[in-house]
């Protein structure tokens, strides 16, 4: 809506103008009508007015003076002057002070008023468009400057800027840091690839911006600093210091680093590893200083996440090991197939050795991948129906790449092997009972697939044997046919779910693989001599 303020000491004229505006049925609205210039000026100070329609000849303050004062408050306000006089002075002065139309009261009608208002409206919309364009232009210039500044600082870190261009760009981009006595702080979000794995581009931007804002907030009282987001969860802070002492400067930076770490953990529930460089007194050395600080972060792989490293810490270095692997592949296979849990301790000892002796990441990565392959071979040999979500080989390989510490990789291998050993032990116990290998594999299949619509034919296809032969062997070994054993296993699982008191009986019926509730009811009674409800009541009594 277009807001109109009316001023005339003649109430009848005010009423007429309001009625004419009402008849127009357009987007004009009278927000206020007053009988003195003083009242109009006061209203203009505190309210948004687009068009002022004012009488020229009024007591105490006339229209000319009102226009002058109102223009001081709002240069874009549109003025329509009205008068009973064909006085050249009022016409000339009102136009001089910025009115866009001058209407004589005797010619004031719907047509003349509409023409004047529409003329004012066009000017208002043009002004607003120009204002928006200017704002957008200013915003674009500011945004471009920010991007160019980031590009320059990134190239500076990579050593791609000449000394002459460094000094020139410092001035061009109004950098809030000095040429000398500069320190670099690298903040690296731990597990960034894991955290953002399922994020789309919008979610990633929100996440990155949130972390950037928190870092900026911690450093808001530090005047001479620049912060950029580099890549893959890495933020780089350039900070100038007045202190001549490197120790004092680095200690101060360490305090900021601790606050950044604490705030990111508290507000975003993320850990961050931070490296603080030594002081740099020559901008041409920034790339070297940054590279040294970046190398410090490699210690995270062995020492864990969420730590702060500074320039005064002694570098332990990394050994170069010639042999690719330091474990016996045949021994691992043997222990997996025997279900020997001592293998888990062997793995932990091996990774501890890697950690203590600072083996190169490449060696540890190759070792871990080889261990995954060994485990996968055993899974195939034993036909183990393992969780293909958590332990899908492609997922496991990607996790090796994504994980940032040796502890993460160690835990991944141990968890994988625990699952294999558990399944192998079950199978070995069945084999010890003189069951045929097909019966053992069939039982293993039932335990993994009972909650689905499992069938003898599907089990036979999975094992790779004729269904009739499997049925015969299974009955001879177990003393029950496939369906009887399957149903007993389902009812046993149903009993455990009832005991958990988390689900209704109808939900449990579906969860354990029964498509028909009445059939579930019948089988439950056959196996336990109780109905599901009776079994549930007995649990409550106990």
Are residues 245 and 344 located together in one domain of the fold?
no
Domain-located, residue 124: yes
With a CB cutoff of 8 Å and minimum separation 6, the contacts of 459 are: 442, 445, 446, 449, 470, 482
Tokens describing residue 3: 């807001």
Domain-located, residue 146: no
Domain-located, residue 42: yes
pLDDT of residue 185: 95
The residue among 130, 156, 186 that closes a domain is 130
The residue among 432, 448, 476 that closes a domain is 432
Pick from 332, 326, 329: which is nearest to 357 by CA?
326
Are residues 199 and 262 located together in one domain of the fold?
yes
Domain-located, residue 147: no
Are residues 424 and 472 located together in one domain of the fold?
no
Are residues 385 and 488 located together in one domain of the fold?
no
Supply the pTM of this predicted model.
0.52
Distance CA 232, CA 192 (A): 7
pLDDT of residue 360: 82
DSSP assignment of 499-527 equals: HHT-S-HHHHHHHTT-S-HHHHHHHHHHH
Q: What's the number of domains the chain is made of?
A: 4
Are residues 405 and 452 located together in one domain of the fold?
no
Distance CA 108, CA 122 (A): 20
**Rounded (10°) CA dihedral 43, 45, 51, 52:** 60
Are residues 109 and 204 located together in one domain of the fold?
no
Are residues 191 and 213 located together in one domain of the fold?
yes
Q: Please give the sequence-ordered ranges of beta strands (E in DSSP) within 333-393, or none if there are none.
A: none
CATH number at residue 524: 1.10.10.60
Are residues 196 and 281 located together in one domain of the fold?
yes
Long-range contacts of 136-143 (CB under 8 A, 24+ apart): none
Distance CA 43, CA 32 (A): 8
Are residues 526 and 452 located together in one domain of the fold?
yes
Per-residue pLDDT of the chain in tens (542 residues, 90 and over written 9): 889 999 998 888 899 999 899 888 788 899 999 999 999 999 999 898 999 999 888 888 888 889 889 888 888 889 998 887 655 566 666 666 667 777 888 888 888 888 889 888 888 888 776 665 556 655 655 656 777 788 888 888 888 887 777 777 777 777 878 766 789 999 999 999 989 988 998 999 999 999 999 999 999 888 889 999 999 999 999 988 776 666 667 778 888 999 999 999 999 999 999 999 988 887 778 899 999 999 989 889 888 899 998 865 544 444 444 344 456 888 999 999 988 999 999 999 999 998 888 888 878 888 898 899 899 989 888 878 776 667 888 888 888 888 889 999 999 999 999 999 988 888 887 777 778 889 988 998 998 889 988 899 999 999 999 999 999 999 998 889 999 999 999 999 999 899 888 899 999 999 999 989 999 999 999 999 999 999 988 876 55
Are residues 278 and 381 located together in one domain of the fold?
no
Radius of gyration for the alpha carbons in the chain, expressed in angstroms and rounded: 40
Domain-located, residue 442: yes
Are residues 455 and 425 located together in one domain of the fold?
no
Q: Could you tell me the end-to-end alpha-carbon distance of the chain, in angstroms, rounded to an integer?
A: 74
Are residues 268 and 192 located together in one domain of the fold?
yes
- Cβ 185 vs Cβ 237: under 8 Å: yes
Please give the residue range of the domain that contains residue 424.
Answer: 329-432
Domain-located, residue 254: yes
Domain-located, residue 150: no
Domain-located, residue 506: yes
Helices (DSSP H) in 74-186: which residue ranges? Answer: 88-96, 110-157, 163-172
Number of H helices, E strands in the chain: 23, 10
Distance CA 110, CA 318 (A): 89
Please tell me what DSSP assigns to residue 360: -
CATH number at residue 215: 3.30.70.270
Strand partners, 101: 80
With a CB cutoff of 8 Å and minimum separation 6, the contacts of 112 are: 103
Pairing mode of beta strands 182-189, 99-104: unpaired
pLDDT of residue 263: 93
The residue among 263, 279, 309 that closes a domain is 309
CATH number at residue 112: 3.40.50.2300
On the CB side of 15, how many CA atoms lie within 13 Å of its CA? 3
The DSSP H or E segment spanning 274 is strand 272-276
């Amino acid at each position: 809506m277009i807001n109109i303020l009316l001023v005339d000491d003649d109430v009848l004229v005010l009423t007429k103008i309001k009625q004419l505006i009402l008849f127009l049925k357009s987007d004009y609205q009278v927000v206020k009508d007053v009988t003195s210039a003083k009242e109009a000026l006061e209203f203009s100070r505190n309210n948004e007015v687009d068009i002022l329609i004012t009488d020229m000849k009024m007591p105490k303050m006339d229209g000319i003076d009102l226009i002058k004062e109102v223009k001081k408050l709002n240069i874009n306000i549109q003025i329509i002057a009205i008068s009973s006089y064909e006085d050249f002075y009022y016409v000339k002065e009102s136009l001089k002070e910025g009115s866009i139309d001058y209407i004589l009261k005797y010619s004031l009608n719907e047509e003349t008023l509409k023409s004047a208002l529409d003329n004012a409206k066009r000017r208002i919309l043009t002004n607003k468009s120009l204002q928006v364009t200017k704002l957008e232009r200013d915003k674009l210039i500011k945004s471009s400057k920010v991007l160019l500044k980031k590009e320059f600082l990134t190239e500076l870190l990579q050593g791609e800027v000449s000394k002459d261009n460094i000094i020139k760009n410092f001035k061009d981009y109004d950098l809030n840091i000095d040429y000398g006595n500069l320190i670099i702080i690298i903040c690296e979000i731990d597990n960034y690839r894991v955290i953002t794995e399922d994020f789309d581009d919008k979610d990633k931007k929100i996440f990155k911006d949130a972390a950037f804002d928190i870092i900026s907030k911690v450093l808001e009282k530090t005047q001479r600093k620049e912060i950029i987001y580099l890549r893959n969860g890495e933020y780089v802070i350039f900070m100038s210091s007045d202190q001549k002492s490197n120790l004092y400067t680095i200690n101060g930076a360490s305090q900021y680093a601790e606050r950044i770490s604490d705030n990111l953990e508290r507000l975003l529930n993320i850990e961050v590893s931070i490296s603080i460089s030594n002081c740099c007194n020559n901008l041409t050395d920034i790339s070297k200083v940054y590279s040294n600080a970046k190398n410090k972060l490699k210690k995270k792989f062995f020492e864990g996440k969420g730590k702060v490293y500074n320039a005064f810490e002694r570098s332990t270095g990394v050994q170069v090991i010639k042999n690719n692997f330091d474990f016996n592949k045949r021994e691992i296979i043997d222990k997996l197939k025997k279900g020997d849990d001592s293998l888990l301790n062997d793995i932990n000892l091996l990774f501890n050795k890697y950690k203590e002796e600072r083996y190169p990441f490449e060696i540890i990565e190759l070792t871990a991948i080889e261990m995954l392959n060994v485990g996968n071979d055993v899974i195939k040999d034993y036909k183990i129906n393992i969780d293909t979500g958590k332990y899908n080989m492609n997922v496991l390989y990607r996790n090796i790449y994504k994980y940032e510490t040796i502890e993460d990789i160690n835990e991944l291998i141990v968890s994988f092997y625990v699952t294999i050993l558990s399944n192998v032990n079950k199978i070995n116990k069945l084999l010890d009972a003189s069951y045929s290998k097909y019966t053992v594999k069939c039982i293993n299949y039932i335990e993994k697939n009972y909650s689905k619509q499992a069938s003898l034919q599907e089990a036979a296809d999975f094992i790779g044997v004729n269904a009739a032969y499997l049925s015969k062997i299974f009955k001879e070994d177990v003393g029950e046919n496939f369906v009887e054993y399957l149903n007993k296993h389902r009812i046993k699982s149903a009993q455990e779910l009832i005991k958990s008191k988390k689900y209704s009986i109808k939900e449990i019926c579906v969860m354990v693989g029964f498509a028909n509730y009445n059939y579930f009811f019948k089988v439950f009674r056959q196996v336990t001599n109780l109905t599901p409800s009776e079994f549930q009541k007995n649990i409550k009594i106990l």
